[in-house]
């Protein structure tokens, strides 16, 4: 079986498709600036000036076990941490650069600590690696799309040898795949312009990775096209839409469902940004998660620890609330995917074999329409407390079925009379478990 065949991808992403919920962690020396991980590019800061953050970096409160605890209690099953972001700073003890955490006053291999803590907590381990590098002298600067020195005339005639950069970055990926035991996800970021695919020597890279880490899954930002019937070897194992949930399931040219994962921020920043207070509500994160699962996707929610290595309090509060919801309703998320039945107008469906989960986020006027589901439902229960949900006819059936609904439909109600409107048992998201009849 080819490593990039549909079957191979489906097979190795099994745990990932069952996990459904993970943590993204953006951490680096940019946390000191506190204006996001793009600060160097946005403010066109020179390498020399940017070094002040390197000289100062000492996340004295970085405690990977504490991070793992927050992630675990949020109900997340895996995490992805930035081993190197676009600024080039490495959180691991690479032999190929001096620009690394072990050379700062903290003197620690933060990736090693993270990986060990995740494993202790039985979480899958993901590594983010930036293809861009604003520190490496052989990465194009002048005229590049986003390099901090893109407009600086002093860089105009500076020569660089991109092959050297490729050797450097492949070398670092090799270190990451060799020195830390099993890595479950390699998350590359990102391709643009002509900087994609073979410009990264992606075939060679992916072959090396799969040799070192046979079970690893890789994202799709090396620049291939997962949707082709014969995708490139580097096309990736899952699609990675950013800050936007696809309208429908993600499929390839043959209409087969592809694994995917939306990444989203909790405020509007990936890297720490103290001024960004635009945090989402826990109920909103829950809704995003359900929306993803209802279309066979995953959700990767970001955490941006501060300069001292602490997870912002607001993030902790949101995540623990989501975790609380998942403790009640997790069976409708983990191991679930898109339903054979089209998503309803009033919410979402997720499904696992014969069990359909109906997710409601707002009260419905009167009883809840289940389109085309007459004689198909064995029983209905609220997942969180096991209580009965009434499966009923249209409330006014005796006077003739309303013209607006079909006789094939059936209705759900939280109480009697069934035509009444009831508050949701859990306003963050109420899940009704529906045992479907086998011969439906």
Residues contributing to the site for ligand GLC (CB under 6 A): 26, 37-38, 189-190, 242, 263, 270
- All residues at 6 or more sequence positions from 342 whose CB lies less than 8 Å from its CB, including other chains: 349, 371
Q: Which is nearer to ligand GLC, 176 or 263 (CB)?
A: 263
Tell me how far, at minimum, the Cβ of 40 lies from ligand GLC, in Å: 11
Q: Which is nearer to ligand GLC, 87 or 426 (CB)?
A: 87
Q: Which is nearer to ligand GLC, 10 or 38 (CB)?
A: 38
Tell me how far, at minimum, the Cβ of 86 lies from ligand GLC, in Å: 6
Tell me how far, at minimum, the Cβ of 192 lies from ligand GLC, in Å: 9
Report yes or no: 54 and 102 within 8 Å, Cβ to Cβ.
no
Tell me how far, at minimum, the Cβ of 355 lies from ligand GLC, in Å: 33
How far, in Å, CA of 305 to CA of 114, rounded? 13
Report yes or no: 278 and 267 within 8 Å, Cβ to Cβ.
yes
Q: Which is nearer to ligand GLC, 84 or 428 (CB)?
A: 84
Q: Which is nearer to ligand GLC, 68 or 263 (CB)?
A: 263
Q: Which is nearer to ligand GLC, 190 or 422 (CB)?
A: 190
Q: Which is nearer to ligand GLC, 246 or 330 (CB)?
A: 246
Tell me how far, at minimum, the Cβ of 99 lies from ligand GLC, in Å: 18
Helix (H, G, I), strand (E, B) or coil at 88: coil
For 297-365, the DSSP string reads EEEEEEE---TTSPPPHHHHHHHHHHHHHHHHHGGGTTT-B--SSPPPTTEEEEEETTEEEEEESS--S
Alpha carbon of residue 370 to chain centroid: 31
Q: Which is nearer to ligand GLC, 101 or 220 (CB)?
A: 220
Smallest CA-to-CA distance from 51 within 88, 18, 84 is with 88
How far, in Å, CA of 159 to CA of 440, rounded? 68
Report which DSSP code applies to 430: E
How far, in Å, CA of 415 to CA of 184, rounded? 46
Tell me how far, at minimum, the Cβ of 190 lies from ligand GLC, in Å: 4
Report yes or no: 64 and 116 within 8 Å, Cβ to Cβ.
yes
Cross-strand partners of 359: 348, 431
Tell me how far, at minimum, the Cβ of 260 lies from ligand GLC, in Å: 13
How far, in Å, CA of 73 to CA of 88, rounded? 31
Q: Which is nearer to ligand GLC, 263 or 360 (CB)?
A: 263
Tell me how far, at minimum, the Cβ of 127 lies from ligand GLC, in Å: 13
Tell me how far, at minimum, the Cβ of 421 lies from ligand GLC, in Å: 41
Tell me how far, at minimum, the Cβ of 431 lies from ligand GLC, in Å: 29
How far, in Å, CA of 370 to CA of 406, rounded? 10
* Assigned token pair, 423: 């508050």
How far, in Å, CA of 120 to CA of 267, rounded? 29
How far, in Å, CA of 148 to CA of 157, rounded? 16
Report which DSSP code applies to 234: T
Q: Which is nearer to ligand GLC, 242 or 393 (CB)?
A: 242
How far, in Å, CA of 78 to CA of 145, rounded? 32
- Residue 396's CB is within 10 A of a number of other CB atoms, namely 10
Helix (H, G, I), strand (E, B) or coil at 148: coil
Tell me how far, at minimum, the Cβ of 347 lies from ligand GLC, in Å: 28
Q: Which is nearer to ligand GLC, 269 or 339 (CB)?
A: 269
């Amino acid at each position: 079986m080819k490593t990039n065949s549909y079957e191979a991808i489906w097979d190795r992403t099994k745990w990932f498709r069952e996990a459904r919920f993970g943590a993204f962690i953006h951490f680096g020396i940019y946390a000191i600036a506190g204006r996001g991980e793009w600060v160097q590019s946005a403010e066109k800061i020179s390498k020399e000036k940017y070094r002040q953050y390197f000289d100062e970096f000492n996340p004295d409160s970085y405690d990977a076990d504490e991070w793992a605890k927050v992630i675990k209690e949020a109900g997340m099953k895996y995490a992805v941490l930035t081993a190197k972001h676009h600024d080039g700073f490495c959180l691991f003890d690479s032999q190929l650069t001096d620009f690394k955490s072990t050379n700062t006053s903290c003197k620690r291999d933060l990736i090693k600590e993270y990986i060990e803590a995740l494993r202790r907590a039985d979480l899958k381990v993901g590594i983010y690696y930036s293809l861009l590098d604003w520190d490496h002298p052989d990465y194009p600067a002048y005229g590049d799309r986003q390099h901090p020195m893109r407009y600086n005339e002093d860089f105009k005639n500076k020569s660089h040898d991109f092959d050297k950069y490729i050797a450097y970055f492949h070398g670092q990926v090799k270190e990451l795949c060799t020195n830390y035991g099993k890595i479950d996800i390699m998350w590359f970021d990102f391709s643009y312009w002509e900087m994609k695919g073979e410009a990264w020597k992606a075939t060679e890279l992916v072959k090396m990775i799969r040799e070192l880490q046979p079970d690893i899954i890789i994202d799709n930002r090396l620049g291939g096209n997962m949707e082709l019937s014969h995708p490139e070897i580097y096309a990736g194992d899952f699609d990675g839409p950013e800050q936007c949930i696809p309208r429908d399931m993600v499929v390839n040219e043959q209409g087969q469902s592809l694994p995917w994962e939306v990444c989203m921020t909790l405020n509007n920043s990936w890297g720490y940004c103290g001024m960004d207070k635009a945090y989402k509500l826990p109920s909103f994160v829950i809704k995003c998660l359900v929306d993803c699962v209802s279309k066979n996707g995953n959700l990767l929610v970001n955490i941006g620890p501060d300069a001292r290595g602490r997870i912002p309090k607001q993030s902790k509060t949101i995540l623990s609330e989501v975790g609380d919801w998942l403790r009640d309703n997790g069976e409708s998320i983990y191991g679930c995917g898109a339903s054979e039945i089209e998503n309803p107008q009033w919410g979402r469906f997720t499904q696992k074999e014969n069990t359909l989960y109906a997710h409601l986020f707002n009260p419905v006027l009167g009883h809840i329409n289940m389109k085309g589901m007459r004689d198909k439902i064995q029983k209905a229960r609220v997942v969180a407390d096991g209580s009965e949900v009434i499966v009923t006819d249209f409330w006014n059936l005796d006077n003739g079925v309303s013209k607006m609904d079909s006789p094939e439909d059936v209705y759900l109600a939280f109480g009697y009379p069934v035509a009444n409107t009831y508050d949701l048992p859990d306003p963050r998201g109420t899940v009704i478990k529906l045992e479907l009849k086998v011969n439906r």
